[in-house]
Structure 1
Amino acid sequence: MSERTATTAAGDTPAPTRARLLSYGVGSVGTGIFSTVPGLLLLYYMTDTLAVPAGAAGLVVTLPKAWDAIFNPYVGAASDREAVRTGRRSRLLLVGAVLLPVTFAAMFLSPATGSGAVVWISVAFVLAASTFAIFQVPYVALPTEMSPNPVVRTRIMSWRIISLTVGILVAGGLAPAVVSLGGKGRAGYALMGLVVGAVLLVVLTVAARGTRWVVSRPGPEQLSLPAAFRAARGNRAFFALLAAFVLQAAGTAVMLAAAPYVATYRLDDYGLTSVLFVCLVAPSAVAVPLWSKAAHRFGRLRCLLFATLGYAVGSVALLPVSAAGNVPGTLALCALLGVCYAALQLLPLSLLPDTVVADTDRTGHTQSGAFTGLWTAGETAGLALGPGAYAVGLAATGFVSSTFDHPVAQTALARTGLLLGFSLVPAALLLASLPALFAYGRRRKESCR
């Protein structure tokens, strides 16, 4: 059957063939890059290149993201309005694809240090987060509309998560390497911002143009934003899943923010930042299809619970190994964590469309944009809370900021504090997500009765 004639059981939406899945999935290369690079490098860029105090740097990486909690739901409502009017979500996708690369590069082009850098990066980060939302919110809404079949939606998510893994690998491996290639310091970060911005422009534009085949049907009539929120409020399974996902995103984001500090101050080599990151993420590329098969056999929720516990245990094990400066042991543990990380990315996103479909049965409205607006707002909040909490920990343990040309030796307490954010703090956040996952399981069973 050709792509031109293939259709789903739902009728007028073409089937998600391999070529179409690839065109959709490549967008996650871009979302993975944007979700990773600021969390990995922005805090370190401010404290160790622009001499921004750790406390102020923590506010910079946290407060702009708080804007997303307000802005993203409005983007979701706008996406649903476009879908009602045109039957597509393509326009917002293309706007975000064009604007995000510019605002991303601006974050790493600060002409000032200290307080001037705080102002510049805060404004640039707010703009970047906003343009990211314009792309991400309709993008996350598409799988629900690609197929009515949960098995097919899990397949769609597998393509997306593999692409996301590629994006995260590009971000974690390429970005620090380009910084080093550019001479480190401000020149290195400026070069990195421009190079990564160019990559974002290509992959996001391909996804925006390559998903115009998806037919969007948000419901028999458009709900206003307040009405959509009132309808969403009754979807308790969605909010339980969202709570777990936010906590897990915060846990992985804390570890991400800690990586360059641990590489520099515990393993004595900033260049290991890329290696740590690749060891953490590369196994995901292999593990995603394995988790997909396991989820089909044992159940998605059960596999997610197992992966959550595994990630928490592995994080705790990092404390004594990294404290001893054991590079091979640290890298090996990061690789094991990467296997669990694949499930933390794949399985919540494969469960999300189920909550939207179940809500359609309850309310008669498929408000995919409204739900994904709430989801991406929660995701960005978690990704911001991680570096923000880590910065607070740095400040509390006496970490001293510096410029690249004038580095500062850190106290034993500061060196211990930066290591805790790489080990025990992520473990605590992952364990804290377990009650929400159990609540999701109960709510899902109730909705099936």
Structure 2
Amino acid sequence: MATQGTARGATAGGGPTGAGPLPRGVRIGYGSGSVATGAFGTVPGLMLLPFLTDSLGIAAVLAGVIVFLPKAWDVVLNPIAGRVSDRSTDPRGPRRPFLLRAGLVLAASFALIFAAPSMATGLEAAWVLVCFLGCASAYAFFQVPYVAMPAEMTTSYDERTRLMTWRVAILALTILVAGGTAPLIRDAVGGRDGYRVMGVVMALIILVGVVASYVGTRHAPVGSVQPGAGSLRDQLRIVATARDFRLLLTTFVVQALATGAMLAGVDYLAEDVLDSAGAATVLFLCFVGPALLLTPAWSAIGQRIGKKRGYVASSLFLAAGAALAAFADVAPAPVVFAAVGLAGVGYAGCQVFPMAMLPDAAAVDARRTGSGRAGVYTGVWTAGETLGLALGPAVFALVLALGDYQSSTDGAATQPGSAVTAIVLGFSLLPALLVLVSLGWLARYTLDAEEVDA
């Protein structure tokens, strides 16, 4: 049994047990948390903007603001959540209690987002904003401790990659299931009730991930966490001076913006460009499906050529696929699906590598300074990721507004040619350009296996 402040398998100093492999049960248990993060990270980005513009009749610009503000709040809240979890001394482990407490609130508040009763448009917009804000706040206190755990579970550079491989594989499966079925559930039920039922189903999926991750990590070799000296502002200032972390974070945030824009555009591309509501699920499966097969392959490539080179290669696949989707308004649907599938090949690697590189940066900092700040690192990281994923739909909504997109309460508005062009560009060339730009920061990242394992 764990003792006060020290989980099973921890060293006396509170760090992980060492560089040996983790039990498979711990890997799977930890990875199951991605069921919760995958559902929350995917479904609002995929469904919330269409819900606002094509069901509640909210103008594209205002809808973009509603989608953006709660996650922008997380940019402030996530580092605080990291600081709080760094100071935890719970006998169940320093991070695990947050998984359960915040996770239960996350599931309940998610269902409420799409459950607004019929009211005036302004009141419905306020309902969504408040519920999404509560959901995002709960997510911060689940996600930040969850992401902080690998740096404390093992000291091995390669074992973190294996741990992240399980996490990303489960994440990909969850994204595939949640993102693929959410539009189907909505369309099968129809109307506002379709969104309500979809919200409840997705909340139950989140609940499964919350409970599984809490139970599955009960034997994880995580020691007590020693928070760094100084205030939160002091620690953030120190983290900001970590050059490699800063470069990796910037790369990841810009790419999160790109993928956020693509996710937000799926429903619009299907209905207004390909003229098929069912195409939304196909597009989504093409984007996420390759991750189920290629996540282990990208992991193996990373161990062979290095995480940075693997990250660059996967980014180029993502950019190439997104760019080819620019022909969506003239090419046959199968060609569009193939282009999105190519982007999905890159997307798989763009999830594996940064998630495996983050614990390296936190571990190097802890070794250099003698002060554990994994929670602060992951708080800043998840804040950046949240900002990027929130900006994606917001930027896509702005592109829609510039294209004179017509909102409605039944999704039946006829769109002008300018709106169709805006949808295609927002889904394709904009994300491709963002991914290519992000490589400028990644090129200057320098941490490798030799330095991390030193």
Q: TM-score if structure 2 supplies the norm length?
A: 0.93
CA RMSD of aligned residues (A): 2.4
Match of 1:96 in 2: 102
Instruction: Identify the range of structure 1 (230-239 vs 253-262) with the bigger mean alpha-carbon deviation.
Output: 230-239
The answer to whether the 8 A contact 1:6-1:14 is kept is no
Among 134, 142, 160, the residue aligned to 1:135: 142
Partner residue of 1:413 out of 409, 418, 423: 418
Evaluate the alpha carbon distance shift between residue 222 and residue 201 of structure 1 in structure 2; reply closer, same or farther with a 3 A threshold: farther
Amino acid at match of 1:411: P
| 2:279 counterpart of 1:272 | yes
What is the letter of the counterpart of residue 349 of structure 1? M
Inter-CA distance 448–199: structure 2 relative to 1 (3 Å threshold): closer
In the TM superposition, 1:274-313 aligns within 5 A as 274-313=281-320
- Deviation for aligned residue 1:234: 2.0
Contact map agreement 2:261 2:395 (CA 8 A) in 1: yes
> 8 Å contact 1:97–1:201 — kept in the other structure?
yes
Instruction: Quote the residue 1:20 is aligned against.
Output: 26
Distance 2:439 2:58 in 1: 36
Give the equivalent residue in structure 2 for 1:391: 397
1:425 and 2:425 are equivalent in the alignment: no
1:407 Cα offset (Å): 1.6
Is the deviation greater in 104-113 or in 31-40? 104-113
Q: Does the 8 A contact of 1:241 with 1:440 survive in 2?
A: yes
- CA shift for structure 1 position 42: 0.2
Q: How does 1:161-172 map to 2 (within 5 A)?
A: 161-172=168-179
Structure 1 residue 432 displacement after superposition: 1.3
Question: What residue in structure 1 maps to residue 121 of structure 2?
Answer: 114
- Residue deviations 1:278-304, cap 9 Å, x none? 111111111000001111111110111
- The 8 Å contact of residues 318 and 346 in structure 2, kept in 1 or not, is answered as yes
1:86 CA drift (Å): 6.8
- d(CA) in 2 for partners of 1:68 and 1:230? 19
Per-residue CA deviation, residues 343-386 of structure 1 (Å, 9 max, x unaligned), is 01000000001100111122111111111000000000000000
Which of residues 241, 263, 267 in structure 2 aligns to 1:260? 267
The CA deviation at 1:113 is 5.3
Match of 2:406 in 1: 400
Residue 219 of structure 1 and its aligned partner are, at CA, apart by 3.0
Could you list the per-position Cα deviations for residues 227-273 of structure 1 after superposition, in whole angstroms to 9, with x for gaps in the alignment? Answer: 32132122111111000000001101101100000000111011111
Q: 1: distance between equivalents of 2:193 and 2:444? A: 48
Q: How many residues align?
A: 443
The two structures have a TM-score, normalised by structure 1, of 0.94
CA offset digits 1:88-133 (Å, max 9, x no partner): 2122111112111111111111223522222111111111111111
Find the counterpart in structure 2 of residue 78 from structure 1: 84
Match for 2:251 among 229, 232, 244? 244
- Does the CA contact (< 8 Å) of 1:237 and 1:444 recur in 2? no
1:40 counterpart residue number: 46
Is 1:174 the counterpart of 2:181 in the alignment? yes
| 1:284 counterpart SS class | helix
Check the 8 A contact 2:8/2:219 in 1, yes or no: no
Structure 2 residue ranges without an equivalent (≥5): 1-6
Contact 2:16 2:152 in 1 (8 A): no
Counterpart-to-counterpart distance in 1, 2:322 and 2:19: 43
Instruction: Return the alpha-carbon distance in structure 1 between the equivalents of residues 303 and 447 of structure 2.
Output: 20
CA positional deviation for 1:34: 0.5
Partner letter of residue 244 of structure 1?
T
